Structure 1
Amino acid sequence: MLDLFAVPDLLTSLPGGQGGSVLAGDLVLSPGRDAAVQRWLSPVLARFAYELDMSPSRRGFRVAMPVPARDGEWVVDGWAASRYESGTTACHDLDVILAAGRLLHARFASLVPHRPDVLDTRTDRWARAERQAFGDVPLAADALDIPLVERVVAELAEAGLTLADREGPADLGRDQLVHADLAGNVLLDAAGAAVVIDVAPSWRPQRWAEAVCVLDAVMWHGAPPAALADWRLGVDRVAMLRALLFRLLSDIPLRPRPYETVLDTISRGVRA
């Protein structure tokens, strides 16, 4: 694998993401990548990253450049590569992360106008959780035994909604390509520009992707609970409940306390 990516075998572990990423030479190698998905996504990101690199007006925002192996493949034995962004630090400012996400999603809307069929082939736990959170498939039988899942479903029911409802008060906006794991995947370079890494592709509303970002930032990245204030009512509440269900169903092992805190916080906005 290292030979195909033309990097030395001196590896350095890197923090963040799902874990397991390593620095090898001038590349970041990340495991667990779906070859079919990356065969579609990586060329899109590579063209976009090049466009941003070449455009002086867009130097406040960049995307990590995917790099193919020497045989032209984007994934080798489950590993994918991207250009190492030297001199960067993790971004912990939620407003900056959300702003970077909005720029990214605005460009995604024009770069990828139609849903790619390859997303239907995903079978990872995040894809399964996402489909259940949006009612595309029924909740798994064991999911209904999780009290927090039951509570989220009940919160939606109190608003007169089921998981499958997508219109009226449950309308989060149109589906498009989004980064479903923004929190923890935005860096700042030496000039202060945001660098988006490790795109987790989903075809869902932008508002839901932002809800996931805010949820993750509060639960795992030190953002204050006050960041949830705008997600307590109306459509934003629906987005946050779907984000909660998505993370609950994909979090293995489940760590319930942070979810309980978030649910309590957004529920106070309804019952106060």
Structure 2
Amino acid sequence: MPSPEVLDRFAVPDDVERLPGGQGGTVRAGDLALSPDRDPALQSWLSPVQARLAYELDLAPGRRPLRLAMPVPARDGEWVVQGWAATRFEPDAEACHDLDVALAAGRLLHAHLASAVPARPDGAPLPALSLPPASGASRWDRAEAVAFAPAAALPDLLPATLADLAPLMTDVSLGPDQLVHRDLASNVLLDARGSALVIDLAPTWRPALWADAICVLDSVTWLGAPAAALRGWGSGRARQAMLRALVFRVLSDEPARRAPYSAALHAVGPR
């Protein structure tokens, strides 16, 4: 839970309520949602980008097709205090587990992000594009680096539980790299007016098709979407995106487990 100093610097009361979803650490304090384990270097770059885009999206007239959580700095202007970062709390927002809505929100978000950040910024603390991952990289960043390794290197990188996927993976382009949200499925809400609200932006610089594949994979595996949603991911670039999404998810799980992803493995795995 956030310390009294954290609450004071974000100017919120000490009446803290844990919020559902995510990794289970986000809390509500006053009109803010506070999330732990945030990287100050990343947030100092990302939060201003996210805040500008959230503001622009909120200016859309009528029922807005997309909204983005608004980052809020501490009283001294810092985006992270003792590992905690804040966004504006959205009352009456509810989790959205409709895959079509989540995919549409993600594609619209990625279009806006591609326009807002047209090139990877020099020095931006985003995950490394290639192996080896940076020192101290998270398990998600390490898994992503392996998922995007050259196909020829995969037999030596994949564990035995995923060895049968290596011969299926190629170096076909999945589209241009851009700023994407790599954890979209469980981070789309519907606000009080029914607009899609994207929260907990997990940024990386990869093709949007791969982010779509993760959204579909997570929705089928964990959020009750029908396995039929995987039918369009069994060939071509879509299959390669889903294979790399599978490698990413299995390797980033603790412990790494193949069994939960059986539906996707059946859809895109060995014939």
Q: Distance in 2 between matches of 1:152 and 1:33?
A: 33
Q: Is the alpha carbon distance of 1:58 and 1:136 closer, same or farther for their aligned partners in structure 2, counting shifts above 3 Å?
A: farther
Q: Determine helix, strand or coil for the equivalent of 1:2.
A: helix
Tell me, yes or no, if the aligned pair for 2:185 and 2:216 is still in contact at 8 Å.
yes
Shift of the alpha carbon at 1:131? 1.1
After TM superposition, the structure 1 = structure 2 runs for residues 46-125 of structure 1, keeping only pairs within 5 Å, are: 46-56=51-61, 59-116=64-121, 117=123, 118-119=125-126, 120=128, 123-125=137-139
Contact 2:187 2:200 in 1 (8 A): yes
- Work out the CA distance in 2 between the residues paired with 1:14 and 1:140: 41
Choose which of 255, 258, 270 in structure 2 pairs with 1:256. Answer: 258
- How far has the Cα of 1:74 moved from its partner? 0.6
Please say if residues 182 and 203 of structure 2, whose CA atoms lie closer than 8 Å, have aligned partners that are also in contact. Answer: yes
Compute the RMSD of aligned alpha carbons: 2.0
Aligned to 1:184: 186
2:149 to 119, 127, 135: 135
**In the alignment, what sits opposite 1:37?**
42
Deviation at 1:255, TM superposition (A): 3.3
- Aligned residue for 2:7, secondary structure, equals coil
Distance 1:24 1:253 in 2: 32
Q: 1:132 Cα deviation (Å)? A: 1.2
- 1:247 corresponds in structure 2 to 249
What is the match of residue 149 of structure 1? 162
Paired with 2:184 and 2:26, the residues of 1 have a C-alpha distance of 17
Q: 1:199 aligns to what SS in structure 2?
A: coil
The question of whether the paired residues in 2 share the 8 Å contact of 1:148 and 1:260 is answered with no
Identity of aligned residues (%): 61
One-letter identity of the residue aligned with 1:176: Q
Runs of 5+ unmatched residues, structure 1: none
Give the superposition deviation at 1:55. 2.4
- Structure 2: distance between partners of 1:246 and 1:67: 31
* In 2: Cα distance, 1:57 partner to 1:23 partner: 28
Q: 1:237 to 1:139 in 2, by over 3 A?
A: closer
| Distance apart, 1:254 and its partner CA | 2.4
Aligned residues: 256
**CA separation in 2, counterparts of 1:123 and 1:228?**
30
Aligned partners of 2:155 and 2:163 also within 8 Å = no
Q: How many Å apart are 1:57 and its aligned residue?
A: 5.5
How far apart, CA to CA, are the structure 1 residues paired with 2:212 and 2:100?
11
Letter matched to residue 5 of structure 1: F
Structure 1 residue 257, shift from structure 2 partner:
1.2
CA distance in 2, matches of 1:15, 1:255: 24
Q: TM-score, normalised by structure 1?
A: 0.89
| TM-score scaled by length of structure 2 | 0.89
After superposing on structure 2, the runs of 4+ consecutive aligned residues of structure 1 that deviate more than 3 Å are 136-141
- Paired position in structure 1 for 2:3: none
Contact 1:180 1:201 (C-alpha < 8 Å) held by counterparts? yes
Structure 2, unmatched stretches of 5+, are 1-5, 129-133
Question: Do the aligned partners of 2:154 and 2:166 also contact (CA within 8 Å) in 1?
Answer: no
Aligned equivalent of 2:215 = 213
In 1, Cα distance between equivalents of 2:42 and 2:226: 34
